[in-house]
Amino acid sequence: MKIAAFLILSLFACILPAHAEMHLDITNPNVEPMPIAVTDFFGGAGQESQVGHQIAQVVSADLASSGLFKPIDPAAFAQTSDALRQGPHFADWKVLNVQALVSGTVTAQGDGRLRVEFRLWDVLGEGQMAGMAYTTQPANWRRIAHIIADTIYQRITGETGYFDTRVVYVAESGPYQKRVKRLAIMDQDGFNTRYLSDGSNLVLTPRFSPTVAEITYMAYVNNHPRVYLQNIDSGRRELLIDLPGMTFAPRFSPDGNKVILSLAQNGASNLYVMDLRTRQTRQLTSDQSISTAPCYSPDGTKVAFESDRGGSQQIYTMNADGSGVKRISFGSGKATYANPVWSPRGDLIAFTKISGGTFYIGVIKPDGTGEREITEGYDVEGPTWAPNGRVLAYFKENPSGPGGRERTAKLYSIDITGQNERQLPTQGDASDPAWSPLIP
């Protein structure tokens, strides 16, 4: 599963003057999707043209999934991929109301690797906005396509993309009263699913390390629920902390050197942090309440967590050393708040709220202002951020079957504007998603 290093070259044939560039404001919830033509990448022999076709399809699907782009029907294309190698006839694309055009080529190298070139064209400005070349093993063509889609997204929106990412989650099967739960990992578009555990142990809440090489999660091994670390490629699993009691709700620090988690003992759940280099454990909270679901701010200086120390479950922030605890969620009536997850941008904290028997996913500023609900349902839970902090994923569980005696659980993504809710394709039922950073 090791991904070979990519050779990346910039191909800037002609740089557009800045004032001419097209731009999409993705903070506007009512933004009209930009019409874009993603043409098949030109390839000669069988494999080259097939990969060229597949790359265009993945790029097109990625961009469409963002809700910000509207790929036009290839049947309407004004030029063939072959002809586009000489450059676009912009006038012919303009009449199709296309604003952006993507072209490319796939060429087999002598050593068996593929060289993939792509160019992003501004049709109205009649110039090239981006151009890159990648050389890689043919098996990596999907990652190349995601990287190209990220490049296009970034060039047009000004925001980092999130397509070359993975989602680790809990795959569910079996009856509601005895669910079988397995760790699973997939590309963000649902492809390349792999199972990282066999279902013999109940597993919950997997989270990525910042390098996307490891996960930490909770598993019931011999009916003893505790936090584990697991290398994704080797499958090697290790117990994180061997203390009496239950360890749960783990999450890596942004530098990857620590894991913060809860330890439940004698009816109280307190927060601890383990330094993975020294294996030293430090206790951050110390009382009889439930404090759990800790999450670092992206700069590592603060921690958001939930606690019922004030009588009901609410969100608090504190300094990373446990000092300066401050409640940030209040809400109205008997609303309770959980699962605080700090945005990678640092500007927002996503949460789960339960109010009047309904679950909500929302966001709030770290200072406790600006609370906003984004989606709701019977059970919507476990928000996780795309690396650009513009999109959230979460899971949604609903009663199903006769008399509502079974459960259906699926993963969804949604813009923080509340627009563009989409189900993430999984092979079966799924919960507890964690969205990776961009793959290094």
| Interacting residue ranges for other proteins, rule: CB under 8 A | 175-179, 181, 202, 204-205, 218, 223-225, 246, 248-249, 262, 264, 266-269, 290, 292-293, 306, 308, 312-313, 336, 338-339, 352, 354, 357, 378-379, 381-382, 397, 399, 403-406, 432
CB 413 within 8 A of CB 424: yes
Which of residues 112 and 403 has its CB atom nearest to other proteins in the complex? Answer: 403
Tell me how far apart the alpha carbons of residues 142 and 137 are, in angstroms, rounded to a whole number: 11
Give least dist CB 247 to other proteins, A.
Answer: 10
Give Dmax (Cα) for the chain: 73
Judging by beta carbons within 10 Å of its beta carbon (0-12, 13-18, 19+), is residue 340 exposed, middle or buried?
Answer: buried
Which of residues 136 and 253 has its CB atom nearest to other proteins in the complex? Answer: 253
Which of residues 144 and 215 has its CB atom nearest to other proteins in the complex? Answer: 215
Give least dist CB 390 to other proteins, A.
Answer: 24
Tell me how far apart the alpha carbons of residues 195 and 41 are, in angstroms, rounded to a whole number: 32
Which of residues 158 and 399 has its CB atom nearest to other proteins in the complex? Answer: 399
Give least dist CB 301 to other proteins, A.
Answer: 23
Q: How many residues are present in the chain?
A: 440
CB 258 within 8 A of CB 271: no
Give least dist CB 181 to other proteins, A.
Answer: 8
Which of residues 131 and 331 has its CB atom nearest to other proteins in the complex? Answer: 331
CA 154 to chain centre: 16
Q: How does DSSP assign 64-108, residue by residue? A: HHTTSEEEPPGGG-SS-HHHHTT---HHHHHTTT--EEEEEEEEE
Which of residues 116 and 293 has its CB atom nearest to other proteins in the complex? Answer: 293
Tell me how far apart the alpha carbons of residues 14 and 305 are, in angstroms, rounded to a whole number: 50
Our CA angle for 390, 162, 160, nearest 5°, is 70
Which of residues 225 and 428 has its CB atom nearest to other proteins in the complex? Answer: 225
Q: CB-side exposure of 108: number of CA atoms within 13 Å?
A: 14
Give least dist CB 275 to other proteins, A.
Answer: 22
CB 160 within 8 A of CB 57: no
Give least dist CB 359 to other proteins, A.
Answer: 8
Give least dist CB 292 to other proteins, A.
Answer: 5
CB 229 within 8 A of CB 240: yes
Give least dist CB 290 to other proteins, A.
Answer: 4
Which of residues 97 and 288 has its CB atom nearest to other proteins in the complex? Answer: 288
